[in-house]
Amino acid sequence: MDNEADVFYRQIPKVELHAHLNGSVSLATMEKLIARKPHLNIESSRTAIHSGQCRTLNECFQVFKVIHQLVDSQEDILMVAKAVIEEFAADGVKYLELRSTPREETKTGLSKRSYIETVLEAIHQCKQEEVDIDVRFLVSVDRRNGHEVAMETVKLAEDFMLSSDGVVVGLDLSGDPTVGHGKDLLPALQRARNCGLKLALHMSEVPSQKEESELLLALPPDRIGHGTFLHPEVGGSDGLVDKVCKMNIPLELCLTSNVKGQTVPSYDKHHFQYWYKRQHPCVPCTDDKGVFCTDLSQEYHLAASTFGLNQEAVWALSQQAIQCSFAPEALKQKLEQRWDELRPHILH
């Protein structure tokens, strides 16, 4: 990738809608965490998947377990969240929706509530320090933990939606797609939707989730994460595709994550192509920029070079993401304006 192109992808203003906090921790921050916890004996090579390397999706979830050992106190979460926000801003991201699963850790006194409070504090501090980025937060439900935990998490998210000055805007359903079934989580997700939380749901990340995707689409979600196996060419169905298209539900697409996690065999086989050709709203995202060693500029660059998008098309892709976000109307308008102002300076 040549330098001039790199500059373009970095310069264009971007919107990141699918970023898991603990998957987004950079190598530099990881090394600080490791230095704080030498007794854990963790090497930074275990917390990231470098270029050319691949892991099964299952192995990716082992990596998150290691990271969670390193990020287990309010102090860690504050440091990690601030660094992640600053790194996205440095990459030209003007609007970020960060997501994370609240955890409790008895040995450090961390509760699920203080977990969320700490992420919100990091967002607040970045705002105070005038980091050039607007940040919103989605509370994540880890599907492996079942119905009761999901319901408890939704209640927490609901509380924070009402008390966070609009920073908590939605709920994410994520976690190992081979564990648990979405049908058990429907009441919790329904409740979230009814109280006004936006829903961003990981769907059809692996082939065996067709029936689950049918159920989740009936909610319906406001955005879909991955949706790798929705279309008939990979074992999904026309029925699923029709529903997604009719309801115009945007897809959050993470090229590097899917290729490194081996749910997609190569970049040119990525389902970005399928949906983009149908002019369906597609939003390039990083998923876990730390674990997969990427950033949003690189994801746009990959999409453009793999599928032959010119600079105009790349610009349109990044601008379209504004309307796919869960930002309130006034903020969407502010962002649109920003894009219009920047355009003549960046597009030639």
Ligand X SMILES: CNc1ncnc2c1ncn2[C@@H]1O[C@H](COP(=O)(O)O)[C@@H](O)[C@H]1O
Residue 286 within binding range of ligand X, rule CB under 6 A: no
Q: What is the DSSP string of 306-317?
A: HHT--HHHHHHH
Which lies closer to ligand X via its Cβ, residue 9 or residue 64? 64
The residues in 96-155 that bind ligand X, with binding defined as CB under 6 A, are 100-101, 140, 142
Q: Are 94 and 80 in contact (CB under 8 A)?
A: no
Q: How many residues bind ligand X (CB under 6 A)?
A: 18
Q: What is the DSSP string of 118-173?
A: HHHHHHHHHHHTT-S-EEEEEEEEEGGGHHHHHHHHHHHHHHHHHHTTT-EEEEEE
Residues that bind Zn ion (CB under 5 A): 287
Active-site residue identified among 87, 97, 205, 212 = 205
Which lies closer to ligand X via its Cβ, residue 152 or residue 338? 152
Neighbours of 116 (CB within 10 A): 23
Q: How far is the CB of 20 from ligand X (least distance, A)?
A: 4
Which of Zn ion, ligand X, none does 205 bind, CB closer than 5 to 8 A by kind?
Answer: ligand X
Residue 299 within binding range of ligand X, rule CB under 6 A: no
Which lies closer to ligand X via its Cβ, residue 58 or residue 337? 58
Q: What is the CA radius of gyration of the chain?
A: 19
- Give the angle subtended at the CA of 99 by the CAs of 317 and 287, to the nearest 5°: 50
221, 250, 261, 290: which one binds ligand X (CB under 6 A):
261
Calpha distance 181→248 (Å, rounded): 25
CA-to-CA separations, 36 to 39, 42, 79, 195, in angstroms, rounded: 9, 11, 12, 40
Calpha distance 344→339 (Å, rounded): 9
Which lies closer to ligand X via its Cβ, residue 21 or residue 259? 21
Q: Give me the 9-48 binding string for ligand X, x by CB under 6 A, dash otherwise.
A: -----------xxxx-------------------------
Residue with tokens 């192109």: 5
Q: How far is the CB of 254 from ligand X (least distance, A)?
A: 8
Q: How far is the CB of 163 from ligand X (least distance, A)?
A: 21
Q: How far is the CB of 112 from ligand X (least distance, A)?
A: 12
Which lies closer to ligand X via its Cβ, residue 23 or residue 227? 23
Which of ligand X, Zn ion, none does 23 bind, CB closer than 5 to 8 A by kind?
Answer: ligand X
Which lies closer to ligand X via its Cβ, residue 200 or residue 309? 200
Q: Are 183 and 151 in contact (CB under 8 A)?
A: no
Active site residue 205: yes
Q: How far is the CB of 176 from ligand X (least distance, A)?
A: 7
Burial readout 297-336 (b: 16 or more C-beta within 10 A, e: otherwise) = bbbbbbbbebbebeeeebbebbbebbebbbbeeebbeebe
Helix (H, G, I), strand (E, B) or coil at 236: coil
The residues in 59-78 that bind ligand X, with binding defined as CB under 6 A, are 60, 64
Residue 205 within binding range of ligand X, rule CB under 6 A: yes
136, 202, 231, 270: which one binds ligand X (CB under 6 A):
202
How many CA atoms, within 13 angstroms, populate the side-chain half-sphere of residue 77? 29
Q: How far is the CB of 193 from ligand X (least distance, A)?
A: 20
Residue 236 within binding range of ligand X, rule CB under 6 A: no
Q: How far is the CB of 287 from ligand X (least distance, A)?
A: 6
- For residue 257, give both structure tokens: 């994550």
Which lies closer to ligand X via its Cβ, residue 22 or residue 29? 22
Pairing of strands 198-203, 168-174: parallel
Active site residues: 205
Binding site for ligand X (CB under 6 A): 20-23, 60, 64, 100-101, 140, 142, 174-175, 202, 205, 257, 261, 287-288
